[in-house]
A = this chain, B = another copy of it.
Amino acid sequence: MAWKGISDAVIRRLPIYLRVLEEVKGKEACISSHELGKRAGVRPALVRKDLAWFGEFGKQGVGYDVEFLQDELRKILNLDEPLHMALVGVGSLGHALARYNRRRFEKDPLFTIKLVALFDVKPELVGTYVDDVPIYSVEEIPRVVPENDIRLAIVTVPADVAQEATDALVAAGVKAILNFAPVKLDVPKDVHVANADLSLELQRLAYYIGAQHS
């Protein structure tokens, strides 16, 4: 499912609401925007505004039906069925992320994003596995991505080859990329990139070490 013109800031909060709903499911049938906001770290008014983009989910004085809202959020986020993901660049970070994702997928039945293919340029890696996920040559992206209906990918290659890897993924049908390479990737308008650049995150955090916040 997809809605036009909804800001990324709104989308960014939906998985947090989903996590809160999963925590309270089975304990409470309904949840107020106050409680949902408190657990998610979001103001209640903003919770109501965010959810109102997608329909009328709440009832005055009662709040949200936990299971119903959970189901709706899963549909909105395309998390109502298994979603196949690839990872390009099986260095130490790529390897760790691959294992992290597989563990999460195996342990949590509600985590539907499944890593199904890894890609690397190193001949000694191609044909081996991380857990039970095969490592293919990057040259096989055009075949493996559509064959496995992969539409989501993690990029953990060095900066100087990140655009090339991205171009191959996009040409093969990938629509969303989590990019760990410290470069801005150029993609067509129908493809979404999230930058998970750790250096930028740390540099941003450094601002706060001397801050007197209130």
Contact = CB atoms under 8 A, between A and B. Distances in A.
A200 interface: yes
Contacts of A95: 92, 96
A16 B77 CA distance: 28
A212 interface: yes
B41 A151 contact: no
When all copies of this chain in the complex are counted, the total is 2
A213 B192 contact: yes
A62 interface: no
Interface residues of A, number: 61
B99 A204 contact: no
B77 A207 contact: yes
Interface in A35-49: 39-41
Nearest to A183: B19
A24 interface: no
Contacts of A79: 203, 206
A15 to B, nearest CB: 4
Given A196-B198, A198-B100, A198-B101, A190 B213 contact: yes
State the 5 A-B residue pairs at the shortest beta-carbon distance, nearest first: A2-B211, A192-B208, A96-B96, A15-B203, A176-B205
